[in-house]
Amino acid sequence: MRLRRRPRYDTLQNEVRRRGRSWGRWIYLGLLCGLLLWIADMFIGDLVYFRAEGLVMRNRVVLATQYPAEVSKLNVEEGSPIETGEILAQVRSQKIEETLAQLYSDMVNGISRATDLEVRNQVYKAIYPMTQRRYTEAHAARRASETLRDQGLIDNVRRADLLKSEIESALEQMKIEAEQKTIDDNMPELNAAVTASKEAIKRLRDVYADGVLKAPDNGVVGYLHVAQGSVVQPGEPLMELFTGDSYILAYVPEGALYSLQPGDPIKIKVGLNTYFGKVGRLYPVAGQLPEEFQNTFQPVSRAQIVRVEFDPGQGRPALFAKTKLSAVGWPPAWLKRLLTATYERVTGGASEEQGISAGSTASHHDDAGESVSGIRGARLVRQTDTGVQIR
C-alpha cells in the first residue's frame, strides 16, 4: 500500500498580485520635480529670466526755510493735491525782519552820508576858484609890501597883516583841495556800499517772500513735519512734496543671464492690475533694497537701480505701491539680443574658419602649379637638348 503525503497546514501559497496602474508613483515624481523647480526658481530664478520688484515714485521735493521761522498758517494736509504757485503755508521770521530793518537803516545812513559828501563837494567846487583868486591876490600884495618896505612906505604891522592873509588863503586852498581828494576817494566806496545794501535787501526779500511758501510744481503733499504754530530751524523740513509724472524705481539683480537696455518693454503688476511701460534709464549704481524687499534670513541685499516709465494713455497706481516687473511677450527683448549675439558669434567664427580653409587650399594649389610648371620646363629643356622641337 502506497502512502500519500499530506500537505502541511503551515505552508502558505504566494498570491500573485495583479499589476495595476502606478499613478501614485507618477504623482509623487511630479510633485518632487515641482518642488525642485520651485526651490530653484526661488533662489536663482531672478538670475535666469527678468523678474524684479520696485516702488511707484514721483520726484521728491523737500520744502524748508533758510532761516528760523514760525508757521503762522498752514493751508494743506497730507495727501492734498497741489498746483504750481499755490500757497502752501505762511511763516514769520523775527530774525529776517530784524535783519531787513538793520539793512534798511544802514542803507539810509549810507545814502545820507553820500548826499552830505556830494553837497560838500559841490560847495568846494564852487568856492575853490575864489580861494585860488584870494591866495593869488594875497601873495601879490605880500610881494608888493616887500618893495614898499625897502622904500620905507609901509610899516611892519601892515606887512604882517598881509603875510597872515596870504597864509590863511593858502591854508584854505589846501584844505579845500584835501577835502575834494578825500571825497573823490570815498565816494565810489560809499556808493558801492549803498548798492550792496540795496542788493542784499532785494535778495533777502526774494528769499523771505513775505513768509509765503508756494508750490514749485503740480503734485501732491506727501508728509507734513510741522503744524500751525510750530517753530522750525534753518534747513529743517516743513513738508515733502511729490511732483511730476509717476515712474517706477526698480531693483534688478546684477550678474544675471539677461541684460536690460533703455526702451525695453516691461509689464508691471500691482495686485490684479496690469500696466505697461519701458526702461527709461539704467543707473550705474547698486542701491540697498528697501526694507519690504529684504529677506529676513539673508544679509542686506543690493541691486542695480533701474527707472521704468509708464506708457501714456493708461492709469497710474498709487504712490509708493509695491510692483512686480517682468518682460513683455515671448521671446523677450533681452532674449532676442542674446540669441542674435550668439548667432553672430557662431556665424562669424564659421566664416573665419572657412576663410582660413580656403586660404590653405589656394596656397596648396599654388604650390602644386609651381611644381608642375617646373617639371614641364625641365622636360622642354631636355627635348630641346636632343634636338626635338615642340610647337
pLDDT of res. 143:
81
pLDDT of res. 365:
45
pLDDT of res. 137:
86
Q: Which of 90, 108, 106 is nearest to 208 (CA)?
A: 90
pLDDT of res. 368:
40
pLDDT of res. 356:
56
**Cα gap 305→284, rounded to integer Å:** 8
Question: From the first residue on, what is the mean pLDDT of each consecutive set of 10 residues in the chain (391 residues)?
Answer: 64 60 79 86 72 90 91 91 92 92 91 88 86 85 78 75 85 88 87 90 91 91 90 92 92 82 91 92 85 69 89 90 88 78 78 58 46 36 35 33
Secondary structure, 3-state, the chain: CCCCCCCCCCCCCCCCCCCCCCHHHHHHHHHHHHHHHHHHHHHHHHHHCCEEEEEEEEEEEEEECCCCEEEEEECCCCCCEECCCCEEEEEECHHHHHHHHHHHHHHHHHHHHHHHHHHHHHHHHHHHHHHHHHHHHHHHHHHHHHHHHHHCCCCHHHHHHHHHHHHHHHHHHHHHHHHHHHHHHHHHHHHHHHHHHHHHHHHHHHHHHHHEEECCCCEEEEEECCCCCCEECCCCEEEEEEEEEEEEEEEECCCCCCCCCCCCEEEEEECCEEEEEEEEEEEEEEEECCHHHCCCCCCCCEEEEEEEEECCCCCCCCCCCEEEEEECCCCCHHHHHHHHHHHHHHHHHHHHHHHHHHHHHHHHHHHHHHHHHHHHHHHHHHHHHCCCCCC
pLDDT of res. 345:
84
pLDDT of res. 300:
66
pLDDT of res. 20:
55
